[in-house]
Structure 1
Amino acid sequence: MSPDGPIAYPETVRDTVVEELAGRTVPDPWRWLEGDVRTDERVQAWVAAEGALTESYLDTLPGRVAIRDRLMKLWNYERVSLPRRRGGRYFFLRNSGLEAQAVLCAREAQDAPARILLDPNGWSEDGATALGEWEPSKDGRRLAYAVQDGGSDWRTVKVLDAVGGEELADEVRWVKFSGLSWAGNGSGFFYSRFPEPRAGLEHQAQNLDHAIYFHRLGTDQSTDFLVYATPDRPRLIHGAEVSEDGRWLLISSAEGTEARTELTVIDLTAPKLAPKILVRGLDNDWRLAGSKGDIFYFVTDLEAPRRRIVSIDVGSEMRRRREIVPHGEDLVADALVVGDRLLVSLLRNVASELRIYDLDGRLMDTVVLPGIGTVSGMEGQGDSAEAFFAFTSYDRPTEIHRLDVGSAVALPYAQPELQFDREDFVVDQASFTSKDGTVIPLFLLRRKDVTGAAPALLYGYGGFEISLTPGFSSAALCWAAMGGVYAVANIRGGGEYGKAWHDAGRRANKQNVFDDFIAAAEHLKGQGVASSVSVHGHSNGGLLVAAVTNQRPDLFAAALPAVGVHDMTRFHRFTAGRYWIDDYGDPGRQEDLAVLMGYSPLHNIRDGAEYPAILIATADTDDRVVPAHSFKYAAALQAADIGPKPHLIRIETRAGHGAGKPTAKQIEEIADLWAFAAHWGGLNV
């Protein structure tokens, strides 16, 4: 097989399924590909045939091995997470470089030697069983941790003695979309779960009736206490967090991905656990920053589209609110109560600032950051002036800094040794104008000696109020190191400028997202930055890539939609898909369906148009965006008259939506995608 020769695709049976939806007839000839790949023999045969074709094609690509080797070198650096201090003990994750999974470690004091508590690398032969959420008890003596297998969103929670290292007998199953929060006395922990699904539907059935339970150490899960549920509102999803003093349980409830939450509190010292509404109605975003006794501090967009910080007295029957940090020109990205201070991360023009306020809202200091980049996380407690924050940028792998909030002095705590010379690369922030005149920011990463037009790889997301702030990626740096331009467009639908920026790219406004991304590609070509443009996106970004490829197939050299949402008429019928109605709209409503059908990748493939080369990526255990989206999209592409370039699908095994994917699988996937894009984009490897 030649990478530029004709391709004989496997034959995919076309059914005559037609669905009546919101007064509209929608053909669905590939419905049978929604069968579970783990059990449906027809789907398994199709996956095997497509996988064999894709692998044989990828084997022909020049530079594939060289790209993989370069990625391994760039990936091979120490990565350390933010430490969590509990009872004087520090807990953190560490990956020495190419380990399949990060290892959970502990230190008895800040500068004490690290010891390994949990090493997931021995949990499975293929490295695909991962450590998910984890939380030490408040005294640091116990550790609740979640096990994630094969990339699934389902978790099994276990408990470790953090002092002696022995595993306790406790086990909690069917946990999903859950934090872990310990009771103040360490007797057990709160968690969220769904009912056990019917056998065979674990990875496809809708997730309903989320509830919060308390597990007491040393007991069987069957005796776990139901703390909070809303059977009359089965679509709600709930999270629970115990206040630092152990008195209050704060419950945050939401119906979808839109940042709109209700708040409920339970006094854990009362004779009877009685939920009391703190904030009623799914109208605004409320994010806990911390508490001091009965005073809770929240980041909220109530009367503040770029967010502000308010306090609520949860012990008062009046639930008195007080503004602490008012709404301003900059977006409040995060906040944390540390000691008697409020540490606030803000976004100004898509880059971070870090400020320190007192608890009355007076600005005390501004922390000097290492450069232009992102404060990607903060850790600290209300009983200490010690805080940690993570900092990263496109040319700077994540660093951990220790901050004294009293003096505002930040010192490096964990800095990786670079596998490249930062002086060889340059990061620029530019902007371009979209179709309707909106100015959109754009980040560019390239080698310093690449001064003319070069093959560009454009990345975007554009949804769910997720901001694409500067952050290090070995994959992005690899593309730049090969002589290409890596571009990130901060298109609407994200959260870079707050609620209005998000609203401008969701539901009926979704076309703005595609217009912005198309305008980014046109800008890169028109300004002489790009000799060709290939596009890449993940999840909602996979939808983005597929949609713009349908709308402007002439504009792109290659398209790489990964784990994307491609059937906009049926996304809400699987697992967590119903949560996305906030961003996409409801296919069951006539006016929403008209919008969705206008861009749904599966339904807008243009027969007779010349399409770019397309390599779809998905995984067999993705129970967030089920792989049927990608299966059906691939079948439709291969059946269409859209030109001779390859339209292939790469299907990873024992992997899911992304979380927990072993390092080796990540490197192999990126090497395949980059080799494909390099070949069709004209980048010599």
Structure 2
Amino acid sequence: MKLTLPTLAIAAMLATSAQAQGLSYPATRQVDQVDTYFDTKVADPYRWLEDDNSAETKAWVAAQNAVTDKFLEAMPQRLPARRIYTELYNFERIGIPFHEGDRYFWTRNDGLQQQNVIYWAKSLKDSPQVALDPNGLSKDGTVALSGLAPSRDGRLLAYGVAGAGSDWQTWKVRDLATGQDLADKIEWIKFSSASWTADSKGFFYARYDAPKEGEALKGANYFQKLYYHRLGTAQADDVLVAENRDDKEWGFGTEVSDDGQLLLISVWKSAGSKNGLMVLPLPKGAFAGGKPQPITLDFDAQYVPVAAHAGQLIVKTDKGAPRGKLVSIDLKHPAPAGWKTLVAEGPDAMTGASAVGGRLLLSYLHDAATLVRVHGADGKRLSEVKLPGVGTASGFGGRWSDSETFFSYTSLTTPAEIHRFDVKTGKTELFKKPKTAFDADEFETRREFVTSKDGTRLPVFIAAKKGLKLDGTNPTLLYGYGGFDIAMTPAYSVTVAAWLKMGGVYVMASIRGGGEYGSAWHEAGTQLKKQNVFDDFIAAGEWLVKNKVASPATLAINGGSNGGLLVGAVTNQRPDLFAAAVPQVGVMDMLRYQNFTIGWAWATDYGKSSDSPEMFKALYAYSPLHNIKSGAKYPAVMVTTGDHDDRVVPAHSFKYTATLQAADTGPAPKLIRIETNAGHGAGKPTSKIIEERSDILAFIAHTMKLEVK
């Protein structure tokens, strides 16, 4: 973190301060701002911190970082934690290969490269060629690759880049034969990839209109439109394919069918999993204009296109099946009354489906661990993909005509391995296994089950050194998310490995709000039922204490984004249960989150404070910003955010930290670590990842007085 303000400006802010454990917090100016929600007046004294571009806010950021840097630099755990993290991060990482045209594509990082490099090869035995190295796009590595899409003939590569952690992308096209970019340049893209037509002459993408000079990107011009870009033409000449001016929450995701004859359009309205589905014919594999035809625009369930084959559209849906099923739709008669069930709902949650080699590959979660089953085109179950153990498998992409597919497998103690699956023979072979400084044989992972406040049973995964002694003294880090239908499944990360090597226990809780058990599990942790998420996480912490894995003096919690909200809310509700809490880029102001950038899209999970008195009351009751308990003894807290985060804007973390520091919450430190020139996390360069995450682990270890060697 670099300080850019003069020393006197920082000193002035430090002049008046609160005291805690020898810390002097910056004085944060308060304003007389009061909002009224259904006859309830709510003060918002730090409203001015919502303007992250103001000189005063930038001075506040510099002052806070000065305090945090001084505290972190004094911790004896900081340097050894960073050394351990760097050693463990320094290993070759290979992405899942995929095939397009006559080329294979995959990503690779040699260990400490700031960004992953894109490679291609004509065969898996050939020496790979560099398709794109994002490390040359900026000096500090903050310009990151945000997406890539090879043309159907494998000759061209469309790719998106984003700077300083922003969600905004610019897309370009590279000729792989020459290694040079074409003149094509597509701007104002957010939350979209690119889908090539089969003739490789252009691609579909979604974007927003560019704002006029001096105009904020919101309101009338802040809604997505679907376009087709033909190579060699200006973006201004791109053809508008779809928009909805009457419902500006519409967004578009696209995929061209394997035979190239159909554009499949998923229409989203928010961050929820319910969507609409449309199709657009592409005669002879080319775009000839026309208006997309709806399959369903009821937005009453999830509809994920899997394959278009022999006049049938295969769709994964949870319509009438909370755990998911496959249906077949006759494209000549697509009315829902004629849909046929191809694979019925089962006891496990169907989380993914693909069509490769004339087979349907269906991924399920069984108590938050992956199972993959193989079905014929008629839906009949044929076999199961053999996985290395109880963990997480992902990938299985490809086309109807392919004979192979690739997938990765990982667990809390197993770095991601890449496997090749032969669809015809059903045989799996190891393609790439990373070599790391982490000795997985020293550790083990077990799955336990916790009972929540209302009797709901939920899985937790516990990774620890073999022969762990259960005496309540183990430094333990509990992680959770609990939202947006996102399943938390066991997966290796350097953060897990580093914490284990430092002598800790790592626990991941699969709580309601996620997608571990299907849509009903997700909905049980949304809107007026959001408290279930916090109850589940608290129950996991209580279970760890009761079973003497940890104690309140050795238990820390961590989560990011929606998981940052989780940590903030749970810290307020049970400050006595934890020794340390690290909310990362959290949604902390539940009354105003919808007012910033893409925040409106989260209302499907959260509800809005303006919806009804009941909804306001529910949000106000758990909002981390509004429920800090002055007079209670809080754990040590370190908030993290990025000053350029345009998804969960930093104002959430700024206002929460200012409120926390102003309250009487005991002597433990209440800090904020603000990464400069950084956003929500995607595309963050390796050096910043190592610095931030090792600081988090060092802060937790320091709180628990854990010696790190």
What TM-score comes out, normalization by structure 1 length?
0.97
Gaps of 5+ in 1: none
Q: Taking every aligned residue pair, what percent have the same amino acid on both sides? A: 46
Amino acid at match of 1:593: F
Residue 579 (structure 1) aligns with: 601
Residue 105 (structure 1) aligns with: 119
Deviation of 1:165 after TM superposition, in Å, equals: 1.6
Alignment partner for residue 609 of structure 1, among 619, 632, 648?
A: 632
Do structure 1's residue 648 and structure 2's residue 648 form an aligned pair?
no
Residue 57 (structure 1) aligns with: 71
Mapped to 1, the partners of 2:675 and 2:218 lie a distance apart of: 18
Residue 85 (structure 2) aligns with: 71
Mapped to 2, the partners of 1:601 and 1:588 lie a distance apart of: 18
Deviates more, 1:9-18 or 1:20-29: 20-29
Note closer, same or farther for the CA distance 1:526–1:207 as it changes in structure 2 (3 Å cut).
farther
Mapped to 1, the partners of 2:149 and 2:222 lie a distance apart of: 25
Residue 297 (structure 1) aligns with: 314
Amino acid at match of 2:311: D
1:81 and 1:92 in contact (8 A); partners too: yes
Mapped to 2, the partners of 1:443 and 1:682 lie a distance apart of: 25
Note closer, same or farther for the CA distance 1:82–1:434 as it changes in structure 2 (3 Å cut).
same
CA distances 1:217-250 after superposition (whole Å, capped 9, x unpaired) = 1111111111100011001111122112221111
Residue 278 (structure 1) aligns with: 295
User: 1:581-596 to 2 correspondence within 5 Å?
Assistant: 581-589=603-611, 590-596=613-619
Alignment partner for residue 360 of structure 1, among 354, 365, 378?
A: 378
1:541 and 1:564 in contact (8 A); partners too: yes
Deviates more, 1:493-502 or 1:262-271: 262-271
Deviation of 1:162 after TM superposition, in Å, equals: 1.9
Residue 504 (structure 1) aligns with: 524
CA distances 1:72-125 after superposition (whole Å, capped 9, x unpaired) = 111111111111211120111111111100001001123211010111111111
Deviation of 1:268 after TM superposition, in Å, equals: 2.2
User: 1:242-261 to 2 correspondence within 5 Å?
Assistant: 242-261=256-275
Alignment partner for residue 454 of structure 2, among 433, 436, 442?
A: 436
Mapped to 1, the partners of 2:212 and 2:609 lie a distance apart of: 25
Mapped to 1, the partners of 2:477 and 2:462 lie a distance apart of: 10
Mapped to 1, the partners of 2:465 and 2:212 lie a distance apart of: 53
2:327 and 2:343 in contact (8 A); partners too: yes
Residue 347 (structure 1) aligns with: 365
Amino acid at match of 1:587: S
Note closer, same or farther for the CA distance 1:293–1:212 as it changes in structure 2 (3 Å cut).
farther
1:142 and 1:161 in contact (8 A); partners too: yes
Mapped to 2, the partners of 1:388 and 1:528 lie a distance apart of: 41
Deviation of 1:272 after TM superposition, in Å, equals: 4.7
User: 1:467-546 to 2 correspondence within 5 Å?
Assistant: 467-531=487-551, 532-546=554-568
Mapped to 2, the partners of 1:350 and 1:275 lie a distance apart of: 37
Deviation of 1:386 after TM superposition, in Å, equals: 1.0
1:291 and 1:382 in contact (8 A); partners too: no
Amino acid at match of 2:326: I
Do structure 1's residue 635 and structure 2's residue 649 form an aligned pair?
no
Secondary structure, aligned partner of 2:570 = helix
1:493 and 1:502 in contact (8 A); partners too: yes
Residue 347 (structure 2) aligns with: 329
Note closer, same or farther for the CA distance 1:148–1:510 as it changes in structure 2 (3 Å cut).
same
Do structure 1's residue 90 and structure 2's residue 104 form an aligned pair?
yes
Note closer, same or farther for the CA distance 1:204–1:277 as it changes in structure 2 (3 Å cut).
closer
Secondary structure, aligned partner of 1:513 = helix
Deviation of 1:670 after TM superposition, in Å, equals: 0.8
Deviation of 1:207 after TM superposition, in Å, equals: 8.2
2:295 and 2:334 in contact (8 A); partners too: no
Mapped to 2, the partners of 1:421 and 1:635 lie a distance apart of: 42
Amino acid at match of 2:47: R
Mapped to 2, the partners of 1:202 and 1:416 lie a distance apart of: 46
2:564 and 2:585 in contact (8 A); partners too: yes
Amino acid at match of 1:604: N
Secondary structure, aligned partner of 1:465 = coil
Mapped to 2, the partners of 1:128 and 1:428 lie a distance apart of: 37
Do structure 1's residue 212 and structure 2's residue 209 form an aligned pair?
no
1:455 and 1:682 in contact (8 A); partners too: no
Mapped to 1, the partners of 2:674 and 2:237 lie a distance apart of: 40
Secondary structure, aligned partner of 2:291 = coil
Residue 701 (structure 2) aligns with: 678
Mapped to 1, the partners of 2:90 and 2:371 lie a distance apart of: 29
Mapped to 2, the partners of 1:378 and 1:664 lie a distance apart of: 31
2:92 and 2:110 in contact (8 A); partners too: yes
Mapped to 2, the partners of 1:87 and 1:442 lie a distance apart of: 43
Deviation of 1:24 after TM superposition, in Å, equals: 2.8
CA distances 1:148-189 after superposition (whole Å, capped 9, x unpaired) = 111100000000012222210110000000021001111111
Mapped to 2, the partners of 1:317 and 1:534 lie a distance apart of: 52
Do structure 1's residue 557 and structure 2's residue 579 form an aligned pair?
yes
What TM-score comes out, normalization by structure 2 length?
0.94
Mapped to 1, the partners of 2:599 and 2:417 lie a distance apart of: 35
1:128 and 1:662 in contact (8 A); partners too: yes
Deviates more, 1:225-234 or 1:268-277: 268-277
Mapped to 2, the partners of 1:208 and 1:336 lie a distance apart of: 33
Gaps of 5+ in 2: 1-13
Mapped to 2, the partners of 1:205 and 1:481 lie a distance apart of: 50
Do structure 1's residue 309 and structure 2's residue 326 form an aligned pair?
yes
Deviation of 1:5 after TM superposition, in Å, equals: 3.2
Alignment partner for residue 483 of structure 2, among 455, 458, 463?
A: 463
Do structure 1's residue 25 and structure 2's residue 41 form an aligned pair?
yes
2:241 and 2:289 in contact (8 A); partners too: no
Note closer, same or farther for the CA distance 1:281–1:288 as it changes in structure 2 (3 Å cut).
same
1:80 and 1:414 in contact (8 A); partners too: yes
Mapped to 2, the partners of 1:300 and 1:374 lie a distance apart of: 22
1:534 and 1:557 in contact (8 A); partners too: yes
1:402 and 1:411 in contact (8 A); partners too: yes
Residue 152 (structure 2) aligns with: 138
Residue 598 (structure 1) aligns with: 621
Deviation of 1:206 after TM superposition, in Å, equals: 9.8
Secondary structure, aligned partner of 2:475 = strand
Secondary structure, aligned partner of 2:614 = helix
Amino acid at match of 2:45: P
1:204 and 1:626 in contact (8 A); partners too: no
Residue 411 (structure 1) aligns with: 429
Mapped to 1, the partners of 2:647 and 2:220 lie a distance apart of: 11
